[in-house]
Amino acid sequence: MIVQLGEWVLRQACTEAARWPQPLSIAVNVSPVQFMLPNLCERVAAILEEIWRLTGWSRK
């Protein structure tokens, strides 16, 4: 369940950040369980791509 919660938190943080003036940085804590996932980077990248596509948030 921590993996799903972590992904939800990242999605929410990115969605909220997309509403703020740019440039903007965010930080999201990652659990030790998530760090053990072999595809953590791919999962984070997929969430970022999703948010960029849905909100038009800049990759800069």
* DSSP per position, 2-45: HHHHHHHHHHHHHHHHTTSPSS--------HHHHT-TTHHHHHH
Give pTM, 2 decimals: 0.82
d(CA 38, CA 18) in angstroms, rounded, equals: 28
Name residues of the chain where pLDDT drops below 70: 58-60
Domain range spanning residue 25? Answer: 2-55
In a domain, residue 51? The reply is: yes
In a domain, residue 60? The reply is: no
In a domain, residue 28? The reply is: yes
In a domain, residue 31? The reply is: yes
d(CA 16, CA 42) in angstroms, rounded, equals: 21
Average pLDDT, the chain: 91
